[in-house]
A and B are shown apart, each in its own frame.
Chain A
Amino acid sequence: MKFILLCLAAVPIFAQGAHDAVADLNIGKRVFDSQCALCHGPDGSGGRGPNLRKAKLKKAPDDEALRKAIADGLPPEMPGAWQLSIREVASVAGYVRTLGKVVVEEIPGDALKGQELFAQTGCSNCHIVSGKGMGNGPELSAIGTRRSAQHLRESLVTPSKFLPDGFLLIEVIDAAGRATKGVKANEDLFTIQLAQPNGRYQSFNKAALKKLTRVTGQSTMPAFDKLPAADLDNLVAYLASLRGTE
Chain B
Amino acid sequence: MKLALIAFTIAAFAQVPYERIRDAAKEPANWLTYSGNLQGHRHSPLTELTPANVGALKVKWAYQFPGGRNQTSPIVVDGVMYITSPNRAAALDAKTGRELWTWDRPIPKDYQSIGFGQVNRGPAILDDQLFIATLDCYLVALDLKTGQQRWEVKVEDYKPGYSMTLAPLAIKGKILVGVSGGEAGIRGFIDAYGSNDGRKLWRFFTIPAPGEPGNETWAGDSWKTGSGSSWVTGAFDPELNLVYWGIGNPGPDWNGDKRKGDNLYTCSFVALDADTGKLKWHFQFTPHDTHDWDAAHVPMLIDAPVRGQVRKLIVNPNRNAFYYALDRVTGEFLAGQSYAKQTWAKGLDDKGRPILIPGMDPSEEGVLVWPALNGATIWYSPSYSPKTGFVYVATREAAATYFKREAEFKPGTFFAGGGERRIPQDEQWGAIRALEPATGKLAWEYKLLSAPWAGVLSTGGGLVFSGSNEGNIFALDARTGKPLWNFHSGGAVAANPISFAIDGRQHVALAADRVLYVFGL
Contact = CB atoms under 8 A, between A and B. Distances in A.
A189 to B, nearest CB: 5
Contact of B115 (A17, A30, A31, A82): A82
A35 B403 contact: yes
Most buried by A among B254, B415, B419: B419
Contacts of B403: 34-35
B416 interface: yes
A82 B410 contact: no
Interface string B233-258: 00000000000000000000110000
A88 B183 CA distance: 15
Nearest 7 pairs of A and B residues by beta carbon: A188-B470, A83-B416, A83-B419, A189-B472, A190-B486, A34-B403, A188-B472
Nearest to A38: B421
22 contacts: A17-B413, A27-B406, A30-B364, A31-B405, A34-B365, A35-B419, A35-B421, A82-B183, A83-B254, A83-B416, A83-B418, A84-B405, A84-B419, A85-B406, A85-B407, A85-B416, A87-B406, A168-B426, A188-B471, A189-B448, A189-B449, A190-B472
Contacts of A34: 365-366, 401, 403, 419, 421
Interface in B453-481: 468, 470-472, 474
Q: How large is the interface on A (under 10, 10 to 19, 20 to 34, 35 or more residues)?
A: 20 to 34
Q: How large is the interface on B (under 10, 10 to 19, 20 to 34, 35 or more residues)?
A: 20 to 34
Contact of A83 (B115, B364, B468): B115
A187 interface: yes
Interface of A: 17, 19, 27, 30-31, 34-35, 38, 81-88, 168, 187-191
Interface string B390-430: 00000000000101011110101111101101000010000
A87 B421 contact: no
B483 interface: yes
Contacts of A88: 405-406
B488 interface: yes
Given A35-B403, A84-B416, A85-B413, A189 B468 contact: yes
A133 B403 CA distance: 43
A233 B17 CA distance: 80
Contacts of B421: 34-35, 38
Contacts of A35: 403, 419, 421
Contacts of B413: 17, 19, 85-86
B468 A188 contact: yes
Contacts of B254: 83
A94 B412 CA distance: 23
A81 B403 CA distance: 13
B414 A83 contact: yes
Contacts of A30: 364, 405
Q: Majority SS of interface residues in chain B? A: loop
A189 B483 contact: yes
Nearest to B415: A85
Given A19-B413, A34-B366, A189 B470 contact: yes
Given A34-B419, A85-B408, A189-B470, 6 more contacts: A27-B406, A30-B405, A35-B421, A84-B416, A188-B488, A189-B483
Contacts of A19: 410, 413
B413 to A, nearest CB: 6
Given A38-B421, A189-B448, A83 B183 contact: yes
Nearest to B487: A190
B414 A82 contact: yes
A82 to B, nearest CB: 6
Contacts of B418: 83
Contacts of B483: 189-190
Interface string B285-325: 00000000000000000000000000000000000000000
Most buried by B among A30, A81, A85, A187: A85
Contacts of A187: 449, 470
B290 to A, nearest CB: 13
Nearest to A48: B424
B449 A188 contact: yes
Contacts of B448: 189
Contacts of A84: 405, 414, 416, 419
Nearest to A81: B419
B207 to A, nearest CB: 21
A34 B367 CA distance: 11
A87 B409 CA distance: 11
A30 B404 CA distance: 11
A86 B405 CA distance: 13
Given A83-B418, A84-B414, A189 B115 contact: no
A112 B471 CA distance: 46
Contacts of B412: 17
A85 B472 contact: no
Contacts of B416: 83-85
